[in-house]
Amino acid sequence: MAPSVGRSLGALALAGAAGLTWSLVEAHAYTLREATVPVLAPGERALRVLHLSDLHLTPGQHRKIAWLRSLADLEPDLVVDTGDNLAHTDALGALLHALEPLMALPGAFVMGSNDYYAPRPKNPARYLLADARDAPVTDPEALPAAALAAALAAAGWADLTNRRDGVVVDGRRVSLVGVDDPHLDRDRFPAPEQPGTDVDLRLGVAHAPYTRVLDQMHADGADLVLAGHTHGGQLCVPGWGALVTNCDLDTRRAKGLHGWPGPRPDAPGGEGSTWLHVSAGLGTSPYTPVRFACRPEATLLTLVGR
């Protein structure tokens, strides 16, 4: 082998090792994002919504648990959890401890696939397919989704599993609509809201932002839709962004604040579009505990007057 070729291969190996090391570090670099959404009636005082997603918690993740508990210091008006909370069959106690300070606040939730079934090793290349969903598993390892839902509902959080609900937040009436996980084809959009319902804000909530669900929520009159699932691409290309979303949402909307069906902020060509926030989430599968150019996040959305 020529010396120049050997040096090139060595440099590539060194760069690969450095990238892998950094991706392991970045997966624990928890970040609070903030965004302002002009979605309320003109002149309304602001509402603050904390959006959590894709915690993928295991019992030993003590630093993540402490960071989650600290988010209560933000004193949001509403907490919305868009699913995939668990990554271990014994993680429920740790999860409820992590969420305990936030469960004292008004909240709402939906489930993701990793609330129902434990993660399994997968070939990462499958995410490059047009439809990366798994083939049915004969005997999936169940997670305590029912116990999780019961605990969150007992704390007063609205369970939006294929249903509507409402909550009064800071004197404002917020209408909520949600679906069960579209990634598992469990979504069944609820019946229309009763005519004449007087509300100040309409929120749509889903785990995976499949376009069929976004279309339904837009047609339903949602002012803002919250979703997760994508991990923001998880392994991104600096300067380019996500390569995959693990659903049929386009990669340019893999995370952050956008419009549906058109662009927003605010607004070229997106007048009349519903605001859409996709969280890159806080966790990863325990079998792929890496992130690159896509830090784990929670988001504090400040809703203000249009």
pLDDT in tens, 169-179: 999 999 999 99
The C-alpha atoms of residue 185 and residue 241 are separated, in whole angstroms, by: 27
Sign of CA dihedral 246, 68, 149, 278: negative
Domain range 3-305, its CATH number among 2.30.30, 3.30.70, 1.10.1740, 3.60.21? 3.60.21
| Residues β-bridged to residue 109 | 81, 159
pLDDT in tens, 37-65: 999 999 999 999 999 999 999 999 999 99
pTM: 0.91
Q: Quick one: pLDDT at residue 9?
A: 42
The stretch 98-106 carries a mean pLDDT of 98
Residues paired with 31 in a beta bridge: 297
Q: What is the mean pLDDT of residues 224-245?
A: 96
Residues 140-145 have a mean pLDDT of 95
Does residue 240 have a pLDDT over 60?
A: yes
Question: Of the candidates 256, 294, 261, 295, which has an alpha carbon nearest to the alpha carbon of residue 277?
Answer: 256
Confidence at residue 126, expressed as pLDDT on a 0 to 100 scale: 59
Q: Which of 152, 79, 71 shows the shortest CA–CA distance to 115? A: 152
Please give the Cα distance from 205 to 220 (Å, whole number).
12
Q: Where are the domains of the chain?
A: 3-305
